[in-house]
């Protein structure tokens, strides 16, 4: 049986515009994910000090409540992994954004610790759907050779949201209270969802992987997203025959999935642990500034550093860069336990932000591009789900240490140990030789392609 014709026609400018629009949509969605992550830490001092808000709340219970959203994210990610490679990227992304927006609005209206925690869980389900779908979507729209950078752009929305939340807390917490800050998190329902319904395309690579060739080619012509790589992957047999979780746990991906999931566990334990407890820990150090400024530095450094590291990862490979940033985080966290002058302390917090939250940006990109299209949503969802276990433990560990009377140094030592584990595990992830061969063949075909050999098809087909 002859192989189907490989369409290697390209429209780089249209592809770039489409990728930029998709990146903007996903970045904005993940910005509000980061906002949700940090806004609980912003509200936490008020909730701990004032029992009239949602009732009495001690540090141990605060750690548990902080983890409820992450349990919801875990469930949402698992759900997305089960259906994402069957139902497509677009529908799940829109549903997830609408879900968490409504959840944050209702959370702002709660009056008890139980109701607050329950709505944090419900909101987390929508956030999990978005997180698990975002990487898979961007990986299928990003131009070849710049995929780590594009994933860095969209996932930098998480620390950008953290900066946004901290700044909103500094500027408006006393004026609109924590309830008003949570209502800001509902804005995507009225600002982003209508735009997604109107303009966000389905992934043509996903359509082709599902056997919907005519639709895939139509979307490819409309968006400029080439199908060559997906066709070559199918041609050379670089993808497992199964789809979804069955592909993720196939011989080709099983070991790598466990290791990649461990990376997310380490990265999100550090991300959620530091964002939940950094303001509280630094408040105990007695510095004469708002502890929220430390949260701003942590996330702003992650935003800038994560983008720079993502650009370098496209050149050097993501594994080397991730191992390096994890190691830098461990060193910075240990140095944060000493009594350095404030400017030097801000520097170490900035490095820690790059090595924790910024590293998780790299990890998301690594995972999203590691899997083939028929396993991508499930693979990213599985890794995100394992990561959420780390995210759940992060706030809890901080709460346990605080309840036991330990201070910031002990928490920073624990977090530094987690970062070192992440650095070691990164280097153990095996290379995907079949995918490397497919990418090399695509590069060779593009290099030797003559426009007159395979003319660009007209929009009429």
The pLDDT value recorded for residue 452 is 43
Gap between the Cα atoms of 196 and 96, Å rounded: 12
pLDDT tens for the chain, 461 residues: list them. 344 444 544 678 898 999 999 999 999 999 998 898 788 888 888 888 888 888 888 887 887 887 788 788 888 888 887 777 777 889 999 999 999 999 999 999 999 999 999 999 999 999 989 988 888 899 889 887 788 889 888 988 887 888 899 889 888 988 899 999 999 999 999 999 999 999 999 988 888 878 888 888 888 888 888 876 666 666 655 566 677 788 888 888 889 999 999 999 999 899 888 877 777 777 766 666 777 788 888 888 888 888 899 889 888 888 999 999 999 999 998 888 887 778 888 898 899 999 988 898 899 888 888 887 777 878 888 888 888 788 778 877 777 776 766 666 778 888 899 999 999 999 999 987 666 665 666 556 655 554 444 444 433 33
pLDDT of residue 314: 86
The pLDDT score that the predictor gives to residue 49 is 87
Q: What is the pTM of this model?
A: 0.76
The predicted structure's pLDDT at residue 247: 82
Q: What fold, for 12-448?
A: Growth Hormone; Chain: A; (1.20.1250)
Check: CB of residue 134 under 8 Å from CB of residue 100.
Answer: no
What was the pLDDT predicted at 284?
Answer: 66
Nearest partner of 337 among 398, 418, 413, 419, judged by Cα: 413
Reference 100, options 30, 19, 165, 47; nearest CA is 30
pLDDT value, residue 62: 84
């Amino acid at each position: 049986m002859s192989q189907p014709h490989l369409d290697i026609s390209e429209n780089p400018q249209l592809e770039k515009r489409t990728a930029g629009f998709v990146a903007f949509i996903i970045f904005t969605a993940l910005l509000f994910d980061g906002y949700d992550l940090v806004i609980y830490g912003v509200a936490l001092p008020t909730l701990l000090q004032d029992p009239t808000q949602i009732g009495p709340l001690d540090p141990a219970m605060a750690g548990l409540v902080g983890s409820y959203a992450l349990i919801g994210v875990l469930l949402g990610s698992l759900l997305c992994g089960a259906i994402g490679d069957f139902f497509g990227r677009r529908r799940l992304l829109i549903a997830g954004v609408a879900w968490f927006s409504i959840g944050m609005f209702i959370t702002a209206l709660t009056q008890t610790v139980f109701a607050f925690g329950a709505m944090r869980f419900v909101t987390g389900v929508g956030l999990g759907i978005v997180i698990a779908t975002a990487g898979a979507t961007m990986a299928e729209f990003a131009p070849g050779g710049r995929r780590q950078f594009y994933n860095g752009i969209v996932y930098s929305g998480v620390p950008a949201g953290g900066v946004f939340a901290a700044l909103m807390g500094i500027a408006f917490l006393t004026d609109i209270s924590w309830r008003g800050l949570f209502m800001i998190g509902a804005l995507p329902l009225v600002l982003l969802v209508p735009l997604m319904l109107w303009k966000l395309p389905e992934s043509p690579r996903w359509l082709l992987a599902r056997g919907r060739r005519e639709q895939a080619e139509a979307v490819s012509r409309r968006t400029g997203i080439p199908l060559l790589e997906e066709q070559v992957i199918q041609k050379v047999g670089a993808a497992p025959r199964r789809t979804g979780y069955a592909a993720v746990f196939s011989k080709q991906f099983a070991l790598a999935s466990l290791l990649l999931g461990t990376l997310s566990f380490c990265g999100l334990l550090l991300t959620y642990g530091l964002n939940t407890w950094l303001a509280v820990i630094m408040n105990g150090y007695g510095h004469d500034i708002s502890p929220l400024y430390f949260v701003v530095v942590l996330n702003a450094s992650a935003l800038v550093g994560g983008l720079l590291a993502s650009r370098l990862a496209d050149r050097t490979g993501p594994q080397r860069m991730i191992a390096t940033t994890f190691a830098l985080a461990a060193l910075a966290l240990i140095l944060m336990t000493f009594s350095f002058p404030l400017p030097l302390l801000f520097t170490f917090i900035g490095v820690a932000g790059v090595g924790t939250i910024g590293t998780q940006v790299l990890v998301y990109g690594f995972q999203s591009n590691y899997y083939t299209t028929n396993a991508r949503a499930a693979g990213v969802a599985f890794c995100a789900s394992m990561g959420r276990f780390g995210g759940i433990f992060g706030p809890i560990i901080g709460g346990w240490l605080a309840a036991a009377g330990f201070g910031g140094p002990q928490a920073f030592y624990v977090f530094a140990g987690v970062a070192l584990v992440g650095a070691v595990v990164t280097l153990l992830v095996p290379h995907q030789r079949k995918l490397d061969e497919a990418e090399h063949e695509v590069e060779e075909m593009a290099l030797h392609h003559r426009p007159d050999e395979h003319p660009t098809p007209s929009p009429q087909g």
